Structure 1
Amino acid sequence: MSTPGGPWDPRQQYRGFGAFQQPEPPRRKRRGWLITAIVLGAVVLIGAMAAIVVIELRDRRAAPAPPAPLATTPEIEPVVLGWQAVAVPKRQAAYDVPPDWEVDPNPEDVHAVGPPADAVTLTGVAHQQLGFCPGDDNSFRAMAGASARLGPDNAAVADETLRTFIGHAFTRDGVPPVVEQSPPEQLQLTGGVPATRVNARVTLPAPAGCDARSVAVAVVATNSDGTSSVVFVTAADQDVPGAVSAAVLDRLSASLRPR
């Protein structure tokens, strides 16, 4: 499988900060959405604010042993007091999340939002309120993860990623969500690394199942070389018990850093 959610081609050109040049097919609008977790083991369901599909790419016997959970890895220290650090080895990056978030024990797992030919792929993923929905142990209220995507500059990459992620994640029965998007914001990440962030408030006209009616989304793009950028995606249900606020998402995204 050579789609954006598939195996990484060793011939990719290194772009720094963990970004890699990886051609993608032209973007096309799709109906509905699905999230694919490409794991190094058996097929499992991982749920996320809606339905999930998981694809197994390789046999456990051929896969390397997964690394230890990152929350207990001593060499990665959080920069936000009281939070836990999450590593993203593919992007040579790290970020912090609050202590109640659950970190994927294998940071190499690839979580993809959208169909294989038009997905937003993420590794180094963490969730909040995993299993909150009765009867769905794989549901969650908030998530974060990093990737790399093509584009001429950070602002363009952040905007395109935001639109693609929202379109796939929150369209229901062909009905797209209502999106209130902020202008691109220039910021400095931990360590003074320049980046661009875009925020959006997403409203679902007809929530399904355990959907929240409103979701906050933030996308940060950094380290553009004129061809691609590292991107960091966070999203959180709003107006629900224990909701992660947009301000906390901004603090979380600002903790992104190279390592």
Structure 2
Amino acid sequence: MWPGQQPGGEQHQQPNPYQQQPAPHGPQGYDGQQQHQQQEQWGQSTPPGAPVPGKSGTTPRVAVAIIGAVAVIAAAAVTGVVLLNEDDGGGGKASPGGGGGSPSASASPSPSEKPVLQDDPDNPRGVAADQKIEPVVSGWKAVYNAKRHNVYDVPPEWEVQSPTMTIGFEDDSGPLVSMTGAALYKDGICKYASRAGAGTKGGIGAKNTKEAVENEAGAWAEAAFNTSKKATVKQTEPVAFSSKHGLKGHMATATVTGVPRETKCSADGKVVAFTYTDVNGEFATWVLYTDTGVDDEVPEDTIAKIMDSLRPLEG
């Protein structure tokens, strides 16, 4: 439940921590150009690729989609989204010893994938025939992550990705942040960009959920919205959070304002992160990022409703 909310209550008794930031303003999304090249999945040795052209005066982000070894690369003026058909990385054990802290190309799924998680156009979430996951919010869509052991719901206009698809952000030095079990809002609002996205990642290096979420909120804000390093990033202190369905940990919010208006799609943004300990005793962080200061940004009450739907994945 939100801090200050009474058990069973539907209304927030005090402002959500991330709602206390002033609402920034700016135009929408991102922009980019497309080129094709072969590229292996993250973690594998790859031959040097052709350089990706960028807009004058900017360091380009790239949008990559990989299923198998086929990639689509787009040079974006501000940021880009990386989508890979592989996992986002290992999680850390929740113990004093440590723990806690990316569009798609047409190709066949990797042979190493488990059948239950394979990409199927008739079954985009990759749910097995005998596994039916229902939303807890009427009329919404359920999104699950088998590795991170969670489920959450998103509004019907969101697009649920395959659970093995990784989304994230990278620059010319490589991947910066990534997550799986994702859903996108208004994907393609500008080329190779969505208005918002959500998903879950593992964590390595943090000692507790408070430390982990503090690291993740800032990292995603920088990667998604502060490419120029000229914007202002403000982050809330982590606070204890529990969903209505039993996930407990800490949440934090980072807001990015003053993003340079380098293209018609440049926008300020916000990241909400929540770190919990999963059923295996590992840290996992659920992340939602969204453009702000635009007419169709994700409303704060919708973000709160999505977060309250977070729950353990049964079975």
TM-score (norm 1): 0.73
Q: What's the counterpart of residue 69 of structure 1?
A: 124
Amino acid in the other structure paired with 1:171: N
Q: What's the counterpart of residue 79 of structure 2?
A: 50
Q: What's the counterpart of residue 114 of structure 1?
A: 170
Q: How does 1:10-159 map to 2 (within 5 A)?
A: 33-34=61-62, 36-40=64-68, 42-45=70-73, 50-52=79-81, 60=109, 62-64=111-113, 65-67=118-120, 68-70=123-125, 75-104=132-161, 106-114=162-170, 119-133=176-190, 136=191, 138-150=192-204, 151-159=206-214
Query: How many angstroms apart in 1 are the aligned matches of 2:269 and 2:133?
Result: 30
1:162 aligns with 2:191: no
Kept in 1: contact 2:82–2:168 (CA 8 A): no
Kept in 2: contact 1:142–1:237 (CA 8 A): yes
Kept in 2: contact 1:235–1:249 (CA 8 A): no
2:304 to 243, 250, 255: 250
Kept in 2: contact 1:224–1:230 (CA 8 A): yes
User: Which structure carries more helix by proportion?
Assistant: 1
Kept in 2: contact 1:33–1:168 (CA 8 A): no
Kept in 2: contact 1:128–1:143 (CA 8 A): yes
Structure 1 gap segments, 5+ residues each: 8-30
Residues 76 and 37 of structure 1, relative CA distance in 2, 3 Å threshold: same
Residues 53 and 209 of structure 1, relative CA distance in 2, 3 Å threshold: farther
Q: Which has the larger radius of gyration?
A: 2
Q: What's the counterpart of residue 238 of structure 1?
A: 292
1:209 to 228, 241, 263: 263
Question: In terms of mean alpha carbon deviation, does 46-55 or 211-220 score higher?
Answer: 46-55
Q: Deviations over 1:126-181 (max 9, x none)?
A: 11111112xx2x321010010111210111100101111122222234x2421222
RMSD: 3.4
Structure 2 gap segments, 5+ residues each: 1-40, 45-58, 87-106
| 1:220 positional shift | 0.5
Kept in 2: contact 1:159–1:198 (CA 8 A): yes
Query: How many angstroms apart in 1 are the aligned matches of 2:277 and 2:185?
Result: 27
| 1:257 positional shift | 1.6
3-state SS in 2 of match to 1:91: coil
Residues 229 and 176 of structure 1, relative CA distance in 2, 3 Å threshold: farther
3-state SS in 2 of match to 1:90: coil
Query: How many angstroms apart in 1 are the aligned matches of 2:60 and 2:84?
Result: 18
Query: How many angstroms apart in 2 are the aligned matches of 1:70 and 1:185?
Result: 31
Aligned residues: 227
Q: Deviations over 1:51-108 (max 9, x none)?
A: 346678897463544252239887111122221101112212111111100111x210
TM-score (norm 2): 0.61
